[in-house]
Amino acid sequence: MQITKEIEWDMGHRIPNHKSKCRNLHGHRYKAEVCFEGSLIQEKGSSSEDMLIDFQDVKQILIEEIEEVCDHGFMIYEKDSILVDFFNKNKDFKHIIVPFIPTAEQISKWIFDKLEKRYAAVYGKNLTLSSVRLWETPTSTAIYKK
């Protein structure tokens, strides 16, 4: 069985070495779709009986791991010295420093890795995160699968 859940947030970034305008500061309305696989819960009388996982439980972790971390923040590559210096001097601006260039491809993998650890810690082997699809624009997506 598979289920999916989506979450949206606003975030800025830049691609420092990009040949075109994406090297400039800009932002997107990101959307991520997370897909889970597993077996239905068979515990009779359980609140989650015949579900893979309660969608509210999925939503809560997405809010904690993605929205609260990223929404209205600026994602910065740790070796982008121009922006790292700026945000170090202006710590009251929300920013997320990451060890990769914040492309859609890398952000989708980062989200997958964060969520895989969190859901495994809570739900064990009964639930598997199978993919994260990230929309950077309404027509451009990156999909990460393990």
Q: Which amino acids are annotated catalytic?
A: 22, 72, 136
Neighbours of 31 (CB within 10 A): 16
Cβ atoms of 10 and 72 within 8 Å: the answer is yes
Q: What's the gap between Cα 123 and its chain centre?
A: 19
The β-bridge relationship of strands 26-38 and 127-137 is antiparallel
Order of all β-strands in the sheet with 95-98: 95-98, 73-77, 2-13, 26-38, 127-137, 140-145
What contacts 55, CB < 8 A, 6 or more positions away? 3, 5
